[in-house]
Amino acid sequence: MNDALQQWSRWWRAAVMMGEAAEAAGHVINRRSEIIAEGMRDPLHADWVELNRMVSEKAFGALQSWSILAGDAAKLQASMFVEGQRLGHAWLSGSTGNWQGAARLADSALTTGVRAFTPLHKAVTGNRRRLSQSSPRAGGR
């Protein structure tokens, strides 16, 4: 029972992270669109720090996420092969099988996904906080 509760808790946390990131991304996109428009109107007084950050942080975040995925991919693939064999044997023998292995595999995939998504979540929620403080209309959002 404790395993099921822990697994549900991890799935819930992943869903919350996705929601937080989606909400923050909307705010960041809106605020950065304003910064781009302001920069196009007056390039000499544009927020070049923020404009440069828009590109560099995406590259860095993607690199971090891909690095985590690459590190976990071989382990996840090996687990998929083993669990696939177990489920195949159970199916061929007419057994209902031991589905705990599939649950472990799903949990392992979730863990990898959350680990890979964490740098992006951290960046977008951090940007939302930072841009809310610098936004002239932050109080209205």
**pLDDT per position as a tens digit, 51-105:** 999 888 888 888 999 999 888 888 888 888 888 888 788 778 877 666 677 777 8
pLDDT of res. 98: 66
* pLDDT for the residue 141: 36
What residue type is 138 in one-letter code?
Answer: A
Residue 126 pLDDT: 92
Range of the domain at 81: 2-140
HEC secondary structure over 3-39: HHHHHHHHHHHHHHHHHHHHHHHHHHHHHHHHHHHHH
Domains held by the chain: number? 1
Q: What is the pTM of this model?
A: 0.74
**Which among 7, 128, 121 has a CA at the least distance from the CA of 65?**
121
Q: Which of the two residues, 116 and 84, has the higher pLDDT score? A: 116
